A and B are shown apart, each in its own frame.
Chain A
Amino acid sequence: MKKELLFITVIGADKKGIVAKISNLLYDYNVNIEDINQKIMETYFVMTMLVDMKDTTSSIETVRSKLDKIGEQMELKIQLQHEDIFKMMHRV
């Protein structure tokens, strides 16, 4: 079955436990992490996580709402978006 790749983007101040909390959540919903990158951009800490949701036991909506909760608790902006939007915008 074809992979269903989405990007999780975390923007905010770096702190302990970001990867741990998100990874736990993804494990709970059977979402596989394909790649993780991070960088300081315009003073923000930015982390991107490429995840495969083809085997998930949940839905994009549920994972997003759980990520939003982690974002609120940790004062971070967390986005979940299908990788096609990045491919369309940044690759000709």
Chain B
Amino acid sequence: MAITVDEVYETTSMILYQNLDIRTTTLGINLKDCIDSDFAKFKKKVYDKVYQNAKLLIEEAKKLESKYGIPIVNKRISITPISLIMETHCSNQKYLEMAITLDKAAKDAGIDFIGGFGALVQKGMTNSDKILIESLPDVLSKTQRICSFLNVGSNVSGMNLDAINLLGDMLKKTARKSENAIGCAKFVVLVNAPEDNPFMAGAFHGIGEPDITLNVGISGPGVVRSVVEKNKKCDLTQLSEIIKKIVFKITRAGELIGRELAKNLDIPFGIVDISLASTTAKGDSVARIIEQFGIERIGTHGSTLAVALLMDAVKKGGSMASGNVGGLSGTFIPVSEDEGMIEAVEKGALSLDKLESLTSVCSVGMDMFAIPGSTPEETINAIIADELAIGVINNKTTAVRVIPIPDKKAGESINYGGLLGKVPIMKVNKYSAKDFIKRGGRLPAPITSMRN
């Protein structure tokens, strides 16, 4: 059956007026084969493998942008968790040198972010993992493109409080060393981290992955908002149906681009991540979708139900559209990158507590929020541990990307501009969990029966 004018117009208006794009094409690269006892040779092998593949990715992605008339906004790289390949070279200096090597490879190839400068420490830390964490304030403040992650728990391993207890101090040091604490925006701590996530800052190329693979992240909050806007009177079941249908369509676009790009690069196609990812562009906001549902501002009562409905419909529509759905595939509700979220914090509609509760129904985590720089490190650790406990107990990925802004108080804000947007500084509970958190150890893996 021939494609109709209505169908062509629907697709082109998604791209022209509703910010539909392929948010990221991320090439996962295994670096285990670069390990060498000679550190200079090791760095050269890493540089060459990353640079050559990144360059190819950019060239091929541009061709597909042109063929299909859809923007591919970001071309990125994820690598083998770095602590794994640095085991025999673990010193602060060598970690920094490796970070600079990777940063240069990304810069030279034209890649804006490279993820995977992290470690999996859900059961415990090796010496390399500990030194990695120590090196992060320097790495994150002295490089531009390096993104770091730490997986500190899973529903089969429990949660490593000893690792979390290192993070408040690390984040505060990173914040002081980098301009406007920007280094902290490049670090995320997760539980149940997927090994094929294409989105930064948490992207890494898992150890169960092939040598090289291509993962794609689609987006389209503007498209979903537009369809909700046209259906003001329908009930929740119908609302879910219309979201499913539109997400099906945008996921198919991601599937098409991903498959063809992988084929042209002669590598296996990994996954399509169906997360709704906001940008600071007007209308490209997940918060505005929730408002279109009939919620005055995200963060007020009813918001958790609204996010639950949205996410379930997105996952259902997306999983019908592609057999390769993976990655995070939740919705991102970053505070700073979503103009509706920023406004909700500024108007007092959205608190840190409500943000945490929204993440329990399937958004990925507490993302890109700022707190006063004076927040005690134990409180930062407790904020992280609370959010991640939701993930471990409920068998889902959760994550935290928090920015403690030095010398700033709650109610103030800083403006990063560009993709990172404006960050309002949120109020933190003044009471301490220090004596509980400092006990350390490991939260046991949760029981999987009696799920009530």
Q: Enumerate chain A interface residues (CB-CB to B < 8 A).
A: 7, 9, 11, 35, 37-39, 41, 44, 46-48, 50, 60-61, 64, 77, 79-91
Residues of A within 8 A of B73 (CB): none
Given the interface pairs A9-B9, A39-B6, A41-B5, the reply to whether A64 lies near B66 with Cβ below 8 Å is yes
Given the interface pairs A46-B9, A79-B12, the reply to whether A35 lies near B67 with Cβ below 8 Å is no
**Residue among B6, B70, B249 making CB contact with A81, cutoff 8 Å:** B70
**Residue among A46, A61, A85 making CB contact with B70, cutoff 8 Å:** A85
Given the interface pairs A7-B3, A11-B9, the reply to whether A82 lies near B252 with Cβ below 8 Å is no
What are 11 A-B contacts with C-beta separation under 8 Å? A7-B3, A35-B2, A46-B9, A48-B5, A64-B69, A77-B12, A79-B12, A81-B12, A81-B69, A90-B249, A91-B1
Q: How many A-B residue pairs have CB under 8 A?
A: 81
Cβ of A49 to closest chain B Cβ, rounded Å: 10
Complex Cα gap A82–B3 (Å): 12
Residues of A within 8 A of B252 (CB): 88-89
On whether the beta carbons of B249 and A85 are closer than 8 Å, the reply is: no
B256 an interface residue at 8 Å Cβ cutoff? yes
**Residue among A38, A77, A86 making CB contact with B7, cutoff 8 Å:** A86
Sample of 12 further A-B pairs with CB below 8 A, known A44-B9, A81-B68:
A7-B8, A47-B5, A64-B66, A77-B12, A79-B16, A81-B12, A81-B70, A85-B70, A85-B256, A86-B3, A86-B7, A88-B256
Residues of B within 8 A of A61 (CB): 66
On whether the beta carbons of A85 and B9 are closer than 8 Å, the reply is: no
Complex Cα gap A44–B16 (Å): 13
Complex Cα gap A38–B4 (Å): 10
Complex Cα gap A2–B243 (Å): 36
Which chain B residues (300-346) contact chain A, with CB distance < 8 Å?
A: none
Complex Cα gap A41–B4 (Å): 12
On whether the beta carbons of A82 and B16 are closer than 8 Å, the reply is: no
Q: Enumerate chain B interface residues (CB-CB to A < 8 A).
A: 1-13, 15-16, 66-70, 249-250, 252-253, 255-256
Residue of B5, B10, B252 with most chain A CB atoms under a 10 A cut-off:
B5
Complex Cα gap A39–B12 (Å): 14
Residues of B within 8 A of A46 (CB): 5, 8-9
Complex Cα gap A84–B66 (Å): 13
Residues of B within 8 A of A87 (CB): 3
Residues of A within 8 A of B13 (CB): 11
Among all A-B residue pairs, the 6 with the closest Cβ atoms: A81-B69, A88-B252, A89-B249, A90-B7, A88-B256, A39-B5
- Interface SS majority for chain A: strand
Complex Cα gap A91–B171 (Å): 48
Residues of A within 8 A of B1 (CB): 91
Given the interface pairs A37-B5, A83-B3, the reply to whether A88 lies near B69 with Cβ below 8 Å is no
Complex Cα gap A50–B1 (Å): 14
User: Of all chain B residues, which has the CB nearest A38?
Assistant: B5
Residues of A within 8 A of B5 (CB): 37-39, 41, 46-48
Complex Cα gap A7–B3 (Å): 10
On whether the beta carbons of B15 and A79 are closer than 8 Å, the reply is: yes
User: Of all chain B residues, which has the CB nearest A41?
Assistant: B9
User: Of all chain B residues, which has the CB nearest A44?
Assistant: B9
User: Of all chain B residues, which has the CB nearest A89?
Assistant: B249
On whether the beta carbons of B66 and A60 are closer than 8 Å, the reply is: yes
On whether the beta carbons of A9 and B256 are closer than 8 Å, the reply is: no
Complex Cα gap A47–B4 (Å): 11
Residues of B within 8 A of A35 (CB): 2
User: Of all chain B residues, which has the CB nearest A8?
Assistant: B8
